[in-house]
Amino acid sequence: MAEAVLFELLHLEMVAQVYKEAESGDTEHGKSISTLEGMGFRAGQGLIERFTKETPSFKDELDIMKFICKEFWTNLFRKQIDNLRTNHQGTYVLQDNRFRLLTPVSNGKQYLEEAPKFLAFTCGLVRGALSNLGIDSTVTAEVSVMPASDASQTSWFPQLDTSF
């Protein structure tokens, strides 16, 4: 619990720091997103290594995605992904109806444009985790609803480059 709070605070500081650095230099917006994504990627690689230590090997791609939605997500965000869909051709949609790291921006639609910077690190986490399991992917995310409460509906779109 305490450590979850720590993760949220640390993530917030990290986002603020990366953006502050970018503002003080002549770095463009996209660079900050990719910096955060890269940090997430490396952290995701390290995490999945530890999380899967005692997990029997996965039987297919869908099996891996289910692990990401359940164990991986729960370990990081104390809840599962709420909805998983796939076109069975390497594209997945993971929907989280209450994504914790968005809390700082979730008080109103006017902050919706701020959302991408709070999603980039986690896109990287997922891409890094998949990468360590042998799957190259592109992971994007978007926030489709941002109610006045602290809830939000975030969708993650891992597109896998490799099939089994």
116 DSSP assignment: H
Q: Can you point out the beta strands (E) in the chain?
A: 83-86, 92-96, 137-145, 153-160
* Number of residues that this document lists for the chain: 164
CA dist 126 and 83 (Å) reads 16
Given 23, 29, 75, 136, the residue binding its own copies (CB under 8 A): 75
Verify binding: residue 42, its own copies, rule CB under 8 A.
yes
Member of 33, 51, 64, 68 binding its own copies (CB under 8 A): 51
Q: Is 76 in the site for its own copies (CB under 8 A)?
A: yes
> Does 55 interact with its own copies (rule: CB under 8 A)?
no
Kindly state whether residue 70 participates in binding its own copies, applying the rule CB under 8 A: no
- In the set 46, 82, 86, 157, which binds its own copies (CB under 8 A)? 46
The burial class, CB within 10 Å (0-12 / 13-18 / 19+), for 162 is: exposed
The C-alpha torsion from 144 through 110 and 41 to 69, rounded to 10°, is -30
Rank residues 99 and 160 by Cβ distance to its own copies and give the closer one: 99
Using CB under 8 A as the binding rule, whether residue 145 contacts its own copies is answered as no
By CB under 8 A, residue 54 contacts its own copies: no
Q: Is 88 in the site for its own copies (CB under 8 A)?
A: no
Label each residue of 60-76 as H, E or C.
Answer: CHHHHHHHHHHHHHHHH
Judged by CB under 8 A, does residue 35 bind its own copies? yes
Residues that bind its own copies (CB under 8 A): 2-7, 9-11, 13-14, 17-18, 21, 25, 35, 39, 42-43, 46-47, 50-51, 75-76
